[in-house]
Structure 1
Amino acid sequence: MAIDYFKLKNWVFPEQEHRYTEKDTILYALGLGLGKNSSDADELRFVYEDGLQTFPSMAVILGHPGLWMGNPESGINLSKVVHGEQKVRLHHRLPSSGTVIGQSRVIAVVDKGADKGALVVVERKVIDKETGITLATVEQISFCRSEGGFSEQGQPSDVLSAQATVMPTRAADYSCDLPTRPEMALLYRLSSDMNPLHADPATAIAAGFPRPILHGMGTYGVTCHAILKTCCAYRPERLQSLQARFSSPVFPGETIRTEIWRDGGRAYFQSRVVERDKVVLSNGVADIAA
């Protein structure tokens, strides 16, 4: 089944009610490696119930619509879909526990060409059920590798309005190394994505990897940690937005080095694995409040 622009743009997502507890909040932070030093008061605030704070990147898993592209009616070959970019804008601090409503919609379907695939952009509002306040806006760009060329048959194609990030050419102002633990993917999957690619060696080998890989959103969370530590003094209310492009996978146990360039209230960044000198997140931008 070929991709249908109008069907995707009008795709109906059921509202996702997501209740989470303080244990869920702690598990998410542990899955990103926080708390490795029990004497570090800055990290402890995200993994200990006394004065618990929610790690800001947790917004990306709240109210998630699931693998909706796996529905045959979408016309998308899920096996050919990769996570392209991730953005989150934080409007309010996330409560340490509560119930949220995830409201998702497709905001763009972009034809890059018959041999170049297509982009599908989904926006999700994360809304506090009790107050009705929008806590965060999450945007995910998926690269559908086998779905390009649909506009050549008379269908429309959207144009992404955002301009490409222009990274600074000077040496980075800051560099933050954060190790990942060998069991990190096994922990992180308990908060979000249970795909066996991140746990089962046989599945990883079948997918072309020598061993299970870390979730892309796990890499995103570790980089969020680097930004929070380096630019926000571990104050989650200062992080207003975070966006990045996924470039390459991380293997659990590798060290992620985040290189950061400050420009007023904005930070540009990229992350690489130290052991292989491989960029894993690129075109990163974070907005930081004073």
Structure 2
Amino acid sequence: MPIDAAVAAAAEPRTDEIRWTAKDVRLYHLGIGAGTNPDRENPATDPGELRYTLESRLHVLPSFATVAGGGPPGVIRGLSMPGVAVDLADVLHGGQSLRVHRPIPAEGTAVATGRIAAVYDKGTAALLVMRTEVADADGPLWSEEAQIFVRGEGGWGGDRGPSALAHSRRGPGGGPLAAPPAEEPDLTVVRPVRPDQALLYRLSGDSNPLHADPAFARRAGFDRPVLHGLCTYGITLKAVVDTLLGGDVTRVRRYDTRFAAVVYPGETLRIRMWRGEGRVRVMVSAVERSDAPVLTDTTVRHT
């Protein structure tokens, strides 16, 4: 079996030094649509967008953590761990969690320590949980966890894991899709996805051919390249920060989501938000596909 659960779970953590600059931060922000906000009259020069694109007033959106250092994201790193040897075309990103310990600096050097925290048998798929801790000279910066589904690698009789991580055919990796709150959202915004969004976003380090190569996308079961789930993740967090958190990126403490379905470049995202005590619940759907859910079980916790 290409995944040896015992070997993967017992492997020593992998430690890498990562570095990033203000240019990397600005490129990431452009990759998630900074400077094109449809809610602003002149977004390229609006002060609310310049905090993402102008080096003299740069603020770092916490989701930048998923690409910091320019290397592959946690999903790809997890596939290079001992005990894991799979075809990238069978891999789906099921969910992502990010905990921010303090504001991410615009430039920095840090140490990232990653390991496979768990391997679950979902029957038709294996689920790898890749956990990464990042710290610099001043202490912990952020913690992140990626849930990685590998189709066709389940069925060995292993631990199925928490029910919240149950595999379902209705999503690329998550369990039954959560229903939105019964009440009307406090705010709804739409965010267009550029036709070349995936090509721009992948310059931040995620060069998976699924997001650029039509032939590879077909081999993975899609009729055309799809947008990175982490790009949708970043677009969504930016929308929450810009609208409900007063544009203050430092208020974000934790951000969790499950990827319910893929997004295609050129589509439009409908982002619905519900305020709560210290948190915002979010549902994201694809407008052109009858509002099919693309992010579910999504929560931004904040101060």
Does 2:203 correspond to 1:190?
A: yes
- Summarize the Cα distance change of 1:102–1:158 in structure 2 as closer, same or farther, 3 Å threshold: farther
Which of 135, 138, 159 pairs up with 1:127? 135
Mark the runs of 5 or more structure 2 residues left unpaired by the alignment. Answer: 37-42, 166-174
Which of 218, 221, 224 pairs up with 2:234? 221
Secondary structure at 1:42 match in 2: helix
2:23 aligned residue: 23
1:85 aligned residue: 95
Displacement after TM superposition at 1:77 (Å): 4.7
Q: Is the 8 A contact 1:108 1:160 kept in 2?
A: no
Greater alpha carbon shift after TM alignment, 70-79 vs 193-202: 70-79
- 1:158-197 matches, within 5 Å, as 159-160=161-162, 167-197=180-210
Q: Partner letter of residue 285 of structure 1?
A: T
Which of 223, 248, 251 pairs up with 2:261? 248
Q: Is the 8 A contact 1:172 1:259 kept in 2?
A: yes
Find the aligned partners of 1:247 and 1:43 in 2 and give their Cα distance: 29
1:34 aligned residue: 34
Which of 271, 275, 282 pairs up with 1:258? 271
Find the aligned partners of 2:200 and 2:122 in 1 and give their Cα distance: 36
Deviations along 1:176-232, one digit per CA (max 9) or x if unpaired, are 211121211111000021122222333334434333221111111111111112221
Q: Partner letter of residue 159 of structure 1?
A: G
Q: Is the 8 A contact 1:34 1:43 kept in 2?
A: yes
Displacement after TM superposition at 1:87 (Å): 0.6
Greater alpha carbon shift after TM alignment, 233-242 vs 141-150: 141-150
Q: Partner letter of residue 123 of structure 1?
A: R
Find the aligned partners of 1:281 and 1:242 in 2 and give their Cα distance: 12
Does 2:10 correspond to 1:10?
A: yes
Find the aligned partners of 1:259 and 1:139 in 2 and give their Cα distance: 24
Find the aligned partners of 1:53 and 1:149 in 2 and give their Cα distance: 46
Displacement after TM superposition at 1:72 (Å): 7.9
With structure 2 as the length reference, what TM-score do the two structures score? 0.85
Greater alpha carbon shift after TM alignment, 212-221 vs 191-200: 191-200
Q: Is the 8 A contact 1:62 1:102 kept in 2?
A: no
Q: What do you get for the CA RMSD once the two structures are aligned?
A: 2.3
Displacement after TM superposition at 1:19 (Å): 1.0
Does 2:210 correspond to 1:204?
A: no
Secondary structure at 1:190 match in 2: helix
Find the aligned partners of 2:162 and 2:49 in 1 and give their Cα distance: 37
Does 2:297 correspond to 1:283?
A: yes
Displacement after TM superposition at 1:241 (Å): 0.9
Does 2:72 correspond to 1:62?
A: no
2:169 aligned residue: none
Displacement after TM superposition at 1:257 (Å): 1.1
- Summarize the Cα distance change of 1:198–1:146 in structure 2 as closer, same or farther, 3 Å threshold: same
Mark the runs of 5 or more structure 1 residues left unpaired by the alignment. Answer: none
Displacement after TM superposition at 1:280 (Å): 1.0
Secondary structure at 1:258 match in 2: strand
Does 2:281 correspond to 1:268?
A: yes
Q: Is the 8 A contact 2:180 2:283 kept in 1?
A: no
Deviations along 1:262-284, one digit per CA (max 9) or x if unpaired, are 12112111101112222111111
Q: Is the 8 A contact 2:130 2:146 kept in 1?
A: yes
2:39 aligned residue: none
Q: Is the 8 A contact 2:3 2:83 kept in 1?
A: no
Does 2:118 correspond to 1:108?
A: yes
Displacement after TM superposition at 1:158 (Å): 6.6
Q: Is the 8 A contact 2:8 2:82 kept in 1?
A: no
